[in-house]
Amino acid sequence: MAHLALPFFDDAHRALADGLVPWAAAQQVDETDDRAACRDWVQRLGAGGWLRYCVPAEHGGALPALDSRALVLLRETLAYHSPLADFAFAMQGLGSGAITLAGSPAQQAHYLQGVARGELIAAFALSEPEAGSDVGAMQTIASGAHSSSGSGHNGSYSLTGTKTWISNGGIADFYCVFAKTDPAGGTRGISAFIVDADTPGLDASRHIHVMAPHPLATLQFTDCKVSGDALLGEENGGFKLAMRTLDIFRASVAAAALGMARRALAEAVHHARQRRMFGQTLADFQLTQAKIGEMAALVDSAALLTYRAAWLRDTGQARVTAEAAMAKMTATENAQRVIDMALQLHGGRGVEVGSKVESLYRDIRSLRIYEGATEVQQLIIGKATLQE
């Protein structure tokens, strides 16, 4: 845990890590069924008090406001031990993040305490079959009979459309859904809504099977009616709200990748020290030492960018979109390389189903895509650099 001595962290963060590390190491969860395991992890994380870091203190949280460095430490540690545990934690934060940022007092009181206790499972529903990176191409429509003032808050809405690649889809108790209230408005015509899972007209039964065992689903909205009270934030303010939410959690995606990379490095070092060949250990070969050295440098460079992005946000700097993008891009790409090299060092054992490096190889791949693919991060960084 030498990285906790870096000036990005304070004593409260170090105390958090001191409690979390032994707790995470002691957990034993059967992850054969991803949906059941994810529910189990949410309950355990809630009972352990770790989900309290996903919401502010006034609604049962551990800290006065969302703390990016705490989120980074939690995700890095959980991902080191179980990427599915990290997934369960992250989706609680991402799924409820828009409510924390823009929810009414009634919405916050109704949902956030349940999220913090692990009693309500949250989900963030933004992506669509034809609108992944291009959010403006969204086709889900929220039409409705608005109030006489035109605000929509006292009227109702009907959602029609499809969302896909939705994490926690099919097991969530509620979804933060983004839909167009002004179909001709592009990103300026998007609004956000809280839709309970049992709302008539919402079908979340289409489970998506992916290479890493994560519960994903396609959501189908067919004349799905919600009241005006379900509107989250301002009408047509949904795109900015989605981006604000992603800005908070993008650095934590980097942390999850960092945790997986640290685990792969640890597995590689352990294997190299134990594996005997040609009268010596694998670690005695200079080629092995060179690979381990490269892996260690990739891990540390990703860590520094990740911690910097979280620190900048927590210390009230200007928008950290570019810095978070640098962290997300670098940490996920570096982790892919580190895990690949760790698997190669394991030889045939590395591709055996059930080995840790084999599962990490499957787990890391999606992180280079979700919450903004690497290519999207490159564009964000490039535009920011040109504007400086």
pLDDT at position 248 is: 81
Q: What is the DSSP letter of 155?
A: S
255 with 366, same domain: the answer is yes
Rounded-to-10 torsion of CA 165, 170, 171, 172: 70
231 with 262, same domain: the answer is no
192: domain CATH number is 2.40.110.10
87 with 208, same domain: the answer is no
Residue 152 domain flag = yes
pLDDT at position 149 is: 45
CB 268 within 8 A of CB 335: no
- Mark whether 128 is an active-site residue: no
Tokens representing 45 are 């994380």
Residue 76 domain flag = yes
128 with 113, same domain: the answer is no
Beta-strand relationship, 174-180 and 190-196: antiparallel
Closest CA to 242 of 313, 193, 196, 315: 193
Q: How many residues does the chain have?
A: 388
108 with 173, same domain: the answer is no
Q: What is the mean pLDDT of each run of 10 residues along the chain (388 residues)?
A: 82 94 95 93 97 96 94 97 96 96 96 97 95 87 64 75 96 97 93 97 93 90 96 95 87 96 98 93 95 98 96 84 94 98 93 92 93 92 92
pLDDT at position 154 is: 54
68 with 127, same domain: the answer is no
Residue ending a domain, among 236, 261, 283, is 236
259: domain CATH number is 1.20.140.10
Q: Report the number of distinct structural domains present in the chain.
A: 3
Q: Name the active-site residue from 76, 128, 267, 371.
A: 371
Residue ending a domain, among 207, 236, 265, is 236
pLDDT at position 153 is: 47
8 with 64, same domain: the answer is yes
Residue 357 domain flag = yes
Question: Which residue carries 């927590």 as its tokens?
Answer: 314
Residue 163 domain flag = yes
Tell me the pTM.
Answer: 0.93
Residue ending a domain, among 97, 120, 143, is 120
Domain span at 266: 246-387
Distance, CA of 42 to CA of 248 (rounded, Å):
20
Distance, CA of 84 to CA of 33 (rounded, Å):
11
219 with 270, same domain: the answer is no
90: domain CATH number is 1.10.540.10
Task: Identify the bridge partners of residue 226 per DSSP, sorted by sequence position.
Answer: 157
203 with 251, same domain: the answer is no
Task: Identify the bridge partners of residue 124 per DSSP, sorted by sequence position.
Answer: 176
Residue 157 domain flag = yes
38 with 84, same domain: the answer is yes
Residue 241 domain flag = no
220 with 259, same domain: the answer is no
Residues 259, 125, 65, 314, CA torsion sign: positive
Closest CA to 121 of 11, 215, 57: 215
pLDDT at position 318 is: 66
170 with 210, same domain: the answer is yes
Distance, CA of 269 to CA of 279 (rounded, Å):
18
Task: Identify the bridge partners of residue 191 per DSSP, sorted by sequence position.
Answer: 179
Residue 161 domain flag = yes
Tokens representing 67 are 């703390």
Half-sphere exposure of 306 (CA within 13 A, CB side): 35
